Structure 1
């Protein structure tokens, strides 16, 4: 960050490539900051992991070497475990529920926890939608249909445990290796939001899509707390307001684009199926096998029940 009183330049890391929901959030935030400061603030964007992997950027922001980062929430969780509540399978069941949790009192508590635990402050959220399941073999409507398939997952304990609950031993694999592995048949399937499936051209190597709703993808925009504290009260206000406005934009962007992306993927030959019986088998398995394993890491079952109650579910 420049110390020039008349112009400041911040660095922002972005985990994904240009064109996805992370990029949309970052560019909108950058535009709003420039507008609010009459062009005195510039934010240099570094997409596609140029400044290190997503967990590295949390470390760098925590010690003040990096100003901002946009990253998948599961990469914040190791530093501030209570944030992991937002990654519990089948907790969030709609985009509106994701918005309610991130922008309401629970979201504020998670922001405070992250400042305390990780030395970074969440100032915005990118909403990417539900991670749908894709594969190259056959239509999947029940967990039993997964039998014999090799499914790629990130190195994420909750996601691994979810597939194990459905009777599959998934294959943890780096994101950079995933397309080639699908192309070569090393793995048969993976899960990601429609926006990612589209951006990565997975339609070229995957045929079937199952509309599961087990995890709603959220990507927080974080600022180094030490950098934030160095700013004037006016600049802090600008950062917080720009984060709120960019978050609202991200939510609208998802609503506007997801259905057209799905239609385009269908036109490109992907076949869409819905799980049987409104996903009952999928949901029952993770509630029984996955939820109890992770209560402790997110702050206890009482904390989880409090979040369910906020969503109107017991």
Structure 2
């Protein structure tokens, strides 16, 4: 299966490399309208969150910066709320060029780069600043290079998403025992599933777009998301308990199809890099403010918010989950040791 996937990917990327310069550009020489000097690229940008999420607001900032800095030649069309499919489907589309840009996270991308599960280890980072500093450092750069080498997709940098916390319909989560028996939607990722299962959760993978109705219908009791996603996706309407469990830090990244990117003129690639950096900085500032607002909106909607003491949670999953992951990954023990050392090194100086 791995050989077949690799052949299919190489074939798809070869086709895309041939077709993208035509497919993404507007009218060229010989067309009467617009003039020949108005060569343009129309770019499809996919993400799974709603239009009031920080994902979408960041995508809009990137779109506007590119439009302004290329005099209207680089036009981004955003498809929010999983309109082009869930994160896995969107990434497959990104690989073959049906989508040019997308936002997704290392938990989803572990299907292509299993080593990324290291970043999903429970209670790895102390704060969101700590997690972001590691992802913006040598370990994050190493993962980005690996992603590009294996998939033909370039990471332009990491969003400031923070931790995923547990929400549910049944009870507040104050202790590890409170998680036992809850049926929670968990990202389809081996490390996530193992960690939540160790905590007694009935871990249930599910496309994000199905979560709201599954909560309504009682198919699941809850799930895990950051505070902004919980509110922007209106999950607080049906799940009235939100607990800051901080079990997993969620690295989210801005992606672009590499053949498309390399097919652009150098000055457009440079503009993309600068606009992405500016949009990511904007998202980080915005996310901090939006989290505060999201908590207030939860309270106004009658959501019971808890901030449990996390000390009893970590021993349930450590070192067990780390050892299991080390066994699944090539050179897993050495890789995890390298990441843990980097996390310890940056803990005191995280921004």
Please give the TM-score of this superposition, normalised by the length of structure 2: 0.82
User: Aligned pair 1:312/2:339, yes or no?
Assistant: no
Report the CA distance between 1:53 and its aligned residue. 2.6
The question of whether the paired residues in 2 share the 8 Å contact of 1:101 and 1:107 is answered with yes
Match of 1:2 among 6, 19, 25: 25
User: Aligned pair 1:193/2:226, yes or no?
Assistant: yes
Instruction: For residues 120-163 of structure 1, give each alpha carbon's deviation from its aligned partner in whole angstroms, at most 9, with x where no partner exists.
Output: 00013322222111122222211112233322223222221111
The question of whether the paired residues in 1 share the 8 Å contact of 2:108 and 2:187 is answered with no
Instruction: For residues 153-201 of structure 1, give each alpha carbon's deviation from its aligned partner in whole angstroms, at most 9, with x where no partner exists.
Output: 2322222111111123323333233222222333222111101111122
Tell me which moved more, 173-182 or 9-18. 173-182
The question of whether the paired residues in 1 share the 8 Å contact of 2:135 and 2:251 is answered with no
Paired with 2:90 and 2:170, the residues of 1 have a C-alpha distance of 37
User: Aligned pair 1:122/2:155, yes or no?
Assistant: yes
In structure 2, the gaps of 5 or more residues are 1-23, 29-37
The question of whether the paired residues in 2 share the 8 Å contact of 1:21 and 1:126 is answered with no
Report the CA distance between 1:202 and its aligned residue. 2.1
Distance 1:33 1:102, change over 3 A: farther
Paired with 1:299 and 1:179, the residues of 2 have a C-alpha distance of 39
In structure 1, the gaps of 5 or more residues are none
Question: Which secondary structure state, in structure 1, belongs to the residue aligned with residue 161 of structure 2?
Answer: strand
Report the CA distance between 1:91 and its aligned residue. 1.6
User: Aligned pair 1:302/2:334, yes or no?
Assistant: yes
Distance 1:189 1:66, change over 3 A: closer
Aligned to 1:290: 321
Q: How does 1:11-160 map to 2 (within 5 A)?
A: 11-160=44-193
User: Aligned pair 1:238/2:271, yes or no?
Assistant: yes
Question: Which secondary structure state, in structure 1, belongs to the residue aligned with residue 312 of structure 2?
Answer: helix
Q: How many residues align?
A: 312
Instruction: For residues 46-94 of structure 1, give each alpha carbon's deviation from its aligned partner in whole angstroms, at most 9, with x where no partner exists.
Output: 1122223322232232233331111233222211222332222212331
Paired with 2:173 and 2:265, the residues of 1 have a C-alpha distance of 54
Report the CA distance between 1:23 and its aligned residue. 1.0
The question of whether the paired residues in 2 share the 8 Å contact of 1:125 and 1:250 is answered with no
Distance 1:168 1:64, change over 3 A: closer
Aligned to 1:225: 258
Paired with 1:32 and 1:231, the residues of 2 have a C-alpha distance of 17
The question of whether the paired residues in 2 share the 8 Å contact of 1:13 and 1:69 is answered with yes
The question of whether the paired residues in 1 share the 8 Å contact of 2:53 and 2:229 is answered with yes
The question of whether the paired residues in 1 share the 8 Å contact of 2:131 and 2:162 is answered with no
Q: Please, what is the CA RMSD of the aligned residues?
A: 2.0
Aligned to 1:281: 312
Instruction: For residues 216-252 of structure 1, give each alpha carbon's deviation from its aligned partner in whole angstroms, at most 9, with x where no partner exists.
Output: 2332111111111111211111111111111111111
Please give the TM-score of this superposition, normalised by the length of structure 1: 0.92
Question: Which secondary structure state, in structure 1, belongs to the residue aligned with residue 159 of structure 2?
Answer: strand
Tell me which moved more, 229-238 or 113-122. 229-238
- Look at both structures and tell me which one has the larger radius of gyration over its CA atoms: 2
